[in-house]
Amino acid sequence: MKLLEKLLDLFRKNDSKGIETIRDIHYDFQVADIKDFCLHNLLKESEESIEGEMFLARADEIGNPAGEDELDWLLANQEQIPKEWQKRRIILTGYIMDTEFGWGLPYCLFFINGQWHRDHRWLFRGFTKNDRLLTVCK
C-alpha cells in the first residue's frame, strides 16, 4: 500500500484531523460485469485541460458516478478491464474526500507495471484529455 493511501486511510478513521468525506454514493445493486460501466471524456474538442470544479460539474450532469464500491470491484476483477483503458487515468467522482485546504480528492485508477492501482487525484490540479470519468450504466 502506498504511503498516500496509508495516510488517507488514517485520516478517514479520524475526520477531525483535516480530511472528511464529502461524497460517498452507493447503489442498491452491485456491479457484475465490466459492461455495467461507461467511460466519458469530459473535455471539449478545443480544450487541452479543465479545472477540477468544471470536471465535477460536467460529471454531475452525466450522473451515476462510480465510487468506492465500484473501484473495489474493478480492482478485484482487473482481467475484465479493457486494454484500451490502460492508457487512461480513470476518475471516480462517487467518492470524494475534502482536505482542510478545500482540495477535493476523488479516487482514480491507473495502469502501471502490468496492473491497475488505486490512487487519488487532487481536484485543484485539473484534468487533461488522458482523464476519463467512470460512471455506472446499469
DSSP, res 102: S
In the block, residue with C-alpha cell 480492482: 75
Give the number of domains in the chain: 1
Residue numbers of the domain that contains 89: 25-136
94-130 per-position pLDDT tens digit? 998 887 766 688 899 999 999 999 998 877 778 999 9
Residue 36 lies in a domain: yes
CA 102, 133, 62, 137 dihedral sign is negative
Is there a domain that residue 63 lies in?
yes
Distance CA 26, CA 28 (A): 7
b/e string for 61-79 if b means 16 or more Cβ within 10 A?
Answer: eeeebbbbbbbebbeeeee
- For range 34-56, the mean pLDDT: 94
In-domain check, residue 100: yes
Residue 97: the pLDDT is 86
**What letter does residue 78 receive in the DSSP assignment?**
G
Q: Which helix (H) or strand (E) holds 62?
A: helix 52-62
CB atoms within 10 A of CB 9: 10
pTM: 0.82
Residue 66 has pLDDT above 50, yes or no: yes
Residue 119 main-chain phi, psi, to 5 deg? -155, -175
Q: Which three cell numbers stand for residue 7?
A: 495516510
Residue 111 lies in a domain: yes
Does residue 4 register a pLDDT over 70?
no
**Domain contains 15:** no
Query: CB of 51 within 8 A of CB of 131?
Result: no
Query: Is 61 contained in some domain?
Result: yes
3-class DSSP assignment, residue 86: helix
